[in-house]
């Protein structure tokens, strides 16, 4: 078949346009490229860091722009004490996991990694899609990240309660698409209290929770770790105040759920009998099992000072441990006897070395080194029991 010169030229242009990524409309004109799925936002009214898109508190979301605040009247520009993107921030004046005072970003459906940098705050949490994503980030300029599937073409995020009375601020946000799938990678979810939770900066904090150090003992090509533990938390609070809700939104077959409570449940102010504690824990075990996840119960370690006159560390009967052991057997789930295993380790190193693994003047909370040892013990026991990924 013979082609006219004009048709040949048109075909050459189409091939060139396709090669260069230029879209053609029905009239032959160039169409604007689709919005990117990778963003770096610098919040506040100060100078915008190179490589970032500046966003002020008054920047409202518009479909054309594809990002902005849903209710900018409820936002405020504030200063921050860091440098670069951490030198300024925006403050959320209304908040809550279900709040509509969100920062919205149009994204194609898929799995994303979201990195958040807070401004000045004592303690704040991050919520997106109506549930918690990160619990209790502490200190000015705290930084963390999480995976999230986007299924409706938009990410809706805000900074919310970690501690009543503090400012909930955001300095920077980075969004990176990982894949087109709309489910998280295999995940180890962790629920617990101040002996388990994250402390900031994550890579250099003096105090540590074993859940914070746990990723060092996990095969990260198989699992990501989502530590949803928080300081002062007890079983009822974890189940009823949003942390369990967040886990149940995403947990799936192939995921693990490690649950460790008891320390704060025995505190009189939390008004929880041992029988109530056991049934609340049972409820969470069954909720996660019904999602197809592998549930693991853990008993918390004892105090640094739980040595007898023979220098043997023993704390078996603390913190409703007997009920946790019984529940694991009744529900047919894996049990990590961190209480007994850590006691054996503490006995082997002696009272002075054990005390050095805890915060100064504190016999309950491990320091970073102590948290790493506890994380190592948990991972080793799970590997011994035949669970993969450690």
Dump pLDDT digits (tens) for 25-75. Answer: 333 332 223 346 899 999 999 999 999 999 999 999 999 999 999 999 999
Give the sheet arrangement for strand 53-55, strand by strand.
53-55, 39-43, 172-179, 110-117, 143-150
Which candidate in 87, 194, 205, 343 is catalytic? 194
- Residue 338, domain member (yes or no): yes
Q: Average of pLDDT values for 94-112?
A: 97
Residue whose token pair is 């082997």: 348
Shared-domain flag, residues 211 and 273: yes
Range of the domain at 83: 39-179
Cα–Cα dist 106/331, whole Å? 43
> Which tokens go with 177?
């698409």
> Which tokens go with 107?
């994204």
Q: How many CA atoms lie within 13 A of 310 on its CB side?
A: 2
- Per-chain mean pLDDT for the chain: 92
The CATH number that applies at residue 81 is 2.60.120.430
The CATH number that applies at residue 253 is 3.40.50.1110
User: What is the pLDDT, as a whole number, of residue 164?
Assistant: 76
Which candidate in 81, 240, 348, 362 is catalytic? 362
The answer to whether 227 and 198 have CB atoms below 8 angstroms apart is yes
User: What is the pLDDT, as a whole number, of residue 166?
Assistant: 86
Shared-domain flag, residues 329 and 378: yes
> Which tokens go with 366?
């491990």
Shared-domain flag, residues 162 and 283: no
Residue 170 pLDDT more than 70?
A: yes
Q: Average of pLDDT values for 82-87?
A: 97
194 catalytic, yes or no?
Answer: yes
Q: Which of 158, 58, 44 is nearest to 100 (CA)?
A: 158
- Residue 59, domain member (yes or no): yes
Shared-domain flag, residues 68 and 113: yes
362 catalytic, yes or no?
Answer: yes
Q: How many domains does the chain have?
A: 2
Q: Average of pLDDT values for 120-133?
A: 96
DSSP H helical segments within 254-367, as ranges? 274-290, 321-331, 338-349, 351-355
Shared-domain flag, residues 73 and 92: yes
Shared-domain flag, residues 139 and 193: no
> Across the strands, what pairs with 103?
69, 157
Cα–Cα dist 281/289, whole Å? 12
- Residue 17, domain member (yes or no): no
Residue whose token pair is 């000045």: 120
Q: Is the pTM of this model over 0.95?
A: no
Shared-domain flag, residues 280 and 368: yes
Q: Which residues contact 88 (CB under 8 A, 6 or more apart)?
A: 43, 44, 45, 46, 77, 78, 79, 80, 119, 171
Shared-domain flag, residues 274 and 242: yes
Among the candidates 136, 159, 179, a domain finishes at: 179
> Which tokens go with 329?
């057997």
Which candidate in 171, 306, 343, 365 is catalytic? 365
């Amino acid at each position: 078949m013979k082609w006219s010169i004009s048709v040949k030229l048109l075909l050459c242009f189409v091939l060139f346009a396709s090669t260069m990524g230029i879209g053609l409309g029905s009239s032959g004109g160039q169409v604007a490229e689709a919005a990117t799925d990778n963003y770096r936002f610098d919040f506040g009214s100060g100078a915008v860091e190179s490589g970032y898109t500046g966003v002020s508190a008054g920047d409202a979301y518009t479909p054309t722009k594809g990002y902005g605040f849903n209710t900018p009247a409820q936002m405020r520009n504030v200063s921050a004490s860091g440098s670069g993107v951490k030198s300024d921030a925006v403050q959320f004046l209304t908040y809550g996991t279900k709040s509509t005072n969100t920062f919205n970003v149009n994204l194609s459906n898929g799995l994303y990694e979201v990195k958040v940098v807070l401004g000045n705050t004592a303690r704040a949490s991050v919520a997106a899609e109506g549930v918690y994503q990160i619990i209790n980030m502490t200190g000015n300029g705290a930084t963390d990240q999480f995976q999230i599937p986007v299924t409706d073409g938009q990410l809706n995020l805000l900074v919310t309660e970690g501690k009543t009375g503090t400012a909930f601020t955001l300095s920077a946000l980075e969004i990176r698409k990982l894949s087109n799938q709309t489910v998280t990678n295999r995940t180890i979810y962790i629920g617990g209290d101040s002996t388990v939770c994250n402390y900031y900066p994550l890579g250099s904090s003096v105090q540590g929770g074993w859940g914070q150090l746990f990723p060092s003992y996990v095969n990260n090509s198989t699992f990501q770790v989502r530590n949803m533990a928080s300081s002062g938390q007890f079983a009822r609070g974890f189940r009823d105040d949003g942390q369990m809700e967040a886990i149940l939104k995403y947990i799936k077959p192939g995921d693990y759920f490690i649950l460790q409570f008891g320390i704060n449940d025995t505190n009189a102010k939390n008004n929880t009998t041992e029988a109530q504690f056991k049934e609340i824990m049972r409820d969470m075990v069954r909720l996660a099992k019904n999602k197809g996840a592998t549930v693991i119960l853990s008993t918390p370690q004892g105090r640094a000072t739980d040595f007898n006159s023979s220098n043997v560390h023993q704390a078996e009967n603390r913190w409703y441990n007997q009920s946790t052991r019984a529940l694991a057997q009744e529900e047919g789930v894996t049990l990590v006897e961190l209480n007994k295993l850590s006691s054996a380790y503490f006995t082997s190193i002696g009272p002075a070395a054990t005390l050095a693994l805890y915060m100064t003047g504190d016999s309950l909370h491990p320091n970073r080194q102590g948290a790493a040892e506890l994380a190592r013990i948990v991972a080793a026991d799970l590997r011994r029991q035949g669970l993969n990924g450690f």
